[in-house]
Chains A and B, each alone.
Chain A
Amino acid sequence: MATQSSSLWQKHAIFEKNSIILVIGIIVAIAWGGLVEIVPLFYLKSTIEKVDGVRPYSPLELAGYNIYVREGCYNCHSQMVRPLRDEVERYGHYSLAAESMYDHPFQWGSKRTGPDLARIGGKYSDDWHRDHLRNPRAVVPTSIMPSYPWLEKTPLDIKHLGDQMKTLSIVGVPYTKDMIDNAEKDAIAQGAADSKDVKGLQDRYKKIIVRDLGADKGKLTEMDAVIAYLQRMGTLVDFKLYDSKANIR
């Protein structure tokens, strides 16, 4: 089409004939795209809005989060209620960026083979989660979700939670030294309602749900951690108090 002219459009020959120049060109193009798409997210106010109630995961919830990632739950479940009528009708208030600000990596997901889980916390009982994770067909006969029976048979490894929290604090999760030092103790206290350590746990983590799972007798399983994680999901922000208009400009 432009065979006769030697316009600007012909200059691409330089790129096509010199691989080094091509590589530099690709880097510049992608860097520019990144600059325009990503950098504004770090300073635009609505993308970094602070929301009351959001706190880092407690150690037990963090252990549950790790298992959620390990088992690949994000492959079939999203954690992102979009601001669309049908989604808000079904799942509840649309998700806020702040609600996953302490997830590294975030679990928004991109596919819903199963339902969205962003507001699953408190929607069903612990027993239901237990029955359902053991064998989804026991409660939902048409479910195609895999069974996860090993979760309740595998003792929870809590040894490295403190280290993980320390690492997360480097990337900006506000874990204090107090929280990191008490990681193991807090993980156990969240599953031992009668423990004397519960008070300290409640002081460190607001709105925490403590259960009587015999954790102080060494009975904490991976199932307990996943349930602690799921039951907390989407419950931290009190939407009766949340001012959505503050971020509409």
Chain B
Amino acid sequence: MELDAHLLARIQFAFTVSFHIIFPAFTIGLASYLAVLEGLWLKTKDDAYLTVYKFWLTIFAVAFAMGVVSGIVMSYQFGTNWGPFAEKTGPVLGPLLAYEVLTAFFLEAGFLGVMLFGLNRVGPKLHFTATLLVAIGTLISAFWILSANSWMHTPAGYLIEDGRYVPGDWLEIIFNPSFPYRFTHMVLAAYLTTAFVVGAVGAWHLLKNKANKPARLMFAMAVMMAAVVAPLQLFVGDMHGLNTQEHQPMKVAAMEGHFETQEGAPLILFGLPDLEEAETKYAVGVPKLGSLILAHDPNGEVTGLDAFPREDWPNVPLVFWCFRIMVGVGMLMIAFGLAGVVNALRKKLFEARWHHYWALAMGPLGFVAILAGWFVTEVGRQPYVVYGLMRTSEAASPIGAPGVAGSLLGFFIVYLIVFSAGVFYILRLMRRTPGADPEKPLKEGPLRPSHLADEILDQGETGAGAEHA
């Protein structure tokens, strides 16, 4: 019974956090993209930028609302379901989350209203400031939450008092060993994910009309991001992996499917990790490449799972497969970016329909990669909630299985409704032809930000009627 409640609580956390992460990941990228678009509009006075800005602003509003409401759940769930965890780590993790609220959430919420509804109240310059502050807010938020999460992987700067983890050195806590890598990796992932969504939408409209200027703009900007950021992400991801190898070698062993500690370890490409037999069956790999990557020596020793007690192993097949999904998507992204560069050099970026279909198929893959990556890092930390210090089994609140099952069912139903409706509305917003016939979507309800921006356009650059504080 006790175990069941514990498992249900874990499923509930995994479900609610997986649902949540999709939206901030998208809005972190989109907020920065919107800031760039508005900045370019102000600089060049080219209305195509404003058209694209308006197009994505409505989508941003829907995604942001979904991120906010699913995020409130997260800030309470540590207490409802993980009381002992909250109590023991509160002195260290609590202040990090409090700083997230104080430095990021208020900033985002305060200026989101101005960003969505205030264009003709404050004028373009101040409105751009609001967009910029929202974008900065999303990044500050990522900073704190990833610092807190990284501390759970590589705890540092703490002392133990009365069984609680209390702060010893705040700088060591905030900038714990895995934080810089995880933060960079995640922000780049958010940027890439957004770029591929934008690219897919641009491609969809290019397939309908390759002369559509806003669509060209979206697609070109997305390809540029993919070409630069996807290879960069490979590099950052590799550094993150080496950092994990240093601090959580067991996780890396699970990612690689290495059950045995060995010299000259292969890089296993595919295989079936079997926990019963403690081996990766049907492994197809490149000899010695594993050692070369992890130990920078083809004959170097690579720690396997056998170096750790069996009861400390994570779910190896899950970690192994999620890692391959993430890396596979990453490789596809790099290939897509390269193809885009080649097409651009041949002046065929807007002609190559195969590349547009490819972009369309890649649209949702960023989200897949982000979820897979988080499964690798979080499942790979199990059975610990704070790596090496506190087991997940010691962290759960004393709530019986029926209670957790009830709340899980509630979350499942409500999230299903909200998610389906939200995705449906977002897809419908993406289907609008950017720049053409702005009044048409009014049939589906007032699309107010675009509404607003139209009026700003009418006002010209003077920001007539704008009031200043």
Is the pairing of A and B real? Answer: no
Q: Which residues of A contact B (CB under 8 A)?
A: none
